[in-house]
Chains A and B, each alone.
Chain A
């Protein structure tokens, strides 16, 4: 039991670290595309580690399954949103090179 809890703490802690990294990147990086990169990292790794850490704590199989589905959906959303935002930035640059 203790071992499981320690695993959870470690994994959630790691997830928090990546969220921290993502937020810092979002705030500190100089241009939009590198900020986007940092954000995707937070979504992928941060969320992944938190789900990984919570999995052993889930009370029943359905909840565990839902956790995995949530993670998969976040991956998909992050990938798509990243692409779309990058495209959006590209379009914006082309239209208005000064920006």
Chain B
């Protein structure tokens, strides 16, 4: 057995805190009288953001991955956590979005004064924190079984969020989501069992050194990737996502769409580039890309036909996730010295980040529109612009990113993917990106057109929306736009700490 050679680095303890801090908060809320749920959450949220920024700073400062070996037990026997440039980026993204969502949800999930405890606040805040810990573990974990536990943590946090309001459709959506997630987990675990049987390790670095092409490895990786695809809602395994994401409360939908489905994609990325024997399987990469293309085209068309705003946004999530899966053939065919120096890789990561920001903003905006109007039927949105003007503006700005229009993060991401696709002569991918952009423009403008229209006679807003909530939504949309000013080239930061074969 070749020791992978992890060593705890200077700021390593930060990684432990990033994983454990939300858990501490969750337990505190559960135990310490739930009237304090929100207050405890508002201590943990900035704390977690600070930790995530500190980890990113440490990665940038040292130019190497930050590592922590738990209990001093060297992998593969023990477990190590490691933050490289990519995972640090995603951790900061997660912290930012969760803080924004926390601010947005402030007040909506607080305990009514006449009750000692209420269901919704307690459940919402504990699950949010559980989710955070799960995401951080997914981004930091280096051991495939540890990552399995992290994925389960994610599932158990996300599923109850879907049926928070207890309506029948949401319970149904949650059950379906749970069953899909469980199938995904079992497939993942099957693959892990085969890998352990073949190599006696589940440590990624150890596998990278040993893995070679044989039936066990191929079947194992195939099973794991299919399982993760079900969790990431890639076509045709996407059926659970729209009802689940549309049924959850807006704050929860934002997190589910922006972050939760990205975690399994991140793991596919890691399996593909960090575990699988290199060079990867060309056919499998093409298949993933084709499923991505189907997701983009098929689900964009369905989104266009939705009656309700939240369902439209949810279908748009499936479509936008499709773009992520275009990365595999683009990176493999690229002539860059390593995967993370290719433009396709950077484009993919940027798509992930900008979609997260834009989609969070969109779901929150939809939530505010629904609160103000009392419904979210697209055909009946007239007057939304007078009721919640800032939210409608934020929706439009976030829409830029989905369409891939400048200036926006989505524009740069899609341009990079497009460049990579033309360079490598993947013409179908080029076509899919262009068609996807047009379809996204159609569904975004359909909503905007309605929302900007003059209100009907007798129109009145149902609820007054505090300004800060609208500003949070706008803030997220603006950050998605600001990403559009990054230079059109591979970022060095995303390559920090990434080792691997050339």
Whether A and B touch directly in their complex, counting CB atoms under 8 A apart, is answered as no
